[in-house]
């Protein structure tokens, strides 16, 4: 999986280590934080984009957002520093832009796109795992 932040792409993984690191750094759960982003968006359907970005940033501020993105990205590249991610979050600004597509979007927009991607991937994996598990139970020994 990959997120784009301030003109750079970052591969990322949701791992136990990423969840542990995020919890150590922020005191927050990674899953509940991502679920909260999705809930904030659903609760604010129809509001202007700036209000939506404000609502997401109220749920996950720029510091915790930077830490979350860093914890996920360093699972694929241990050389990535928190300074790099936090600098990219700062430079990408606080409001969505129409130019340059997803590479120039603020951290709160990136978090929402990431939360949707993680949710989609885990739903697909859960469905496949259940199919595999149920199929193996039905086979005679």
For 7-51, what is each residue's pLDDT tens digit?
A: 899 999 999 999 999 999 999 999 999 999 999 999 999 999 889
Residue 115 pLDDT class (50, 70, 90 cuts): very high
pTM above 0.75, yes or no: yes
Alpha carbon distance 57, 78 (integer Å) = 26
Q: For the chain, how far is it from start to end, CA to CA, in angstroms?
A: 38
What CA–CA distance (Å, rounded) separates 13 from 47?
31
Under 8 Å CB-to-CB from 48, ≥6 apart: which residues?
Answer: none
How far apart (Å, rounded) are the C-alpha atoms in residues 60 and 58? 6
Identify the bridge partners of residue 2 per DSSP, sorted by sequence position: 11
- Residue 2: per-residue pLDDT: 93
Tell me 78's DSSP state. Answer: T
Nearest to 14 by CA among 119, 88, 84: 119
pLDDT at 39: 94
């Amino acid at each position: 999986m990959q997120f784009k932040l301030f003109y750079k792409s970052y591969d990322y993984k949701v791992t136990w280590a990423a969840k542990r690191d995020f919890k150590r750094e922020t005191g927050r759960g990674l899953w509940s934080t991502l679920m909260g982003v999705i809930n904030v968006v659903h609760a604010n359907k129809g509001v202007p984009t700036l209000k939506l970005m404000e609502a997401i940033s109220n749920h996950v501020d720029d510091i915790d957002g930077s830490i979350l993105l860093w914890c996920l990205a360093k699972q694929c590249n241990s050389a990535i520093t928190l300074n790099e991610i936090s600098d990219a979050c700062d430079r990408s600004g606080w409001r969505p832009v129409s130019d340059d597509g997803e590479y120039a979007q603020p951290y709160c927009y990136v978090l929402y796109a990431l939360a949707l991607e993680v949710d989609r991937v885990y739903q697909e994996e859960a469905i496949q795992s259940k199919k595999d598990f149920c199929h193996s139970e039905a086979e005679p020994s």
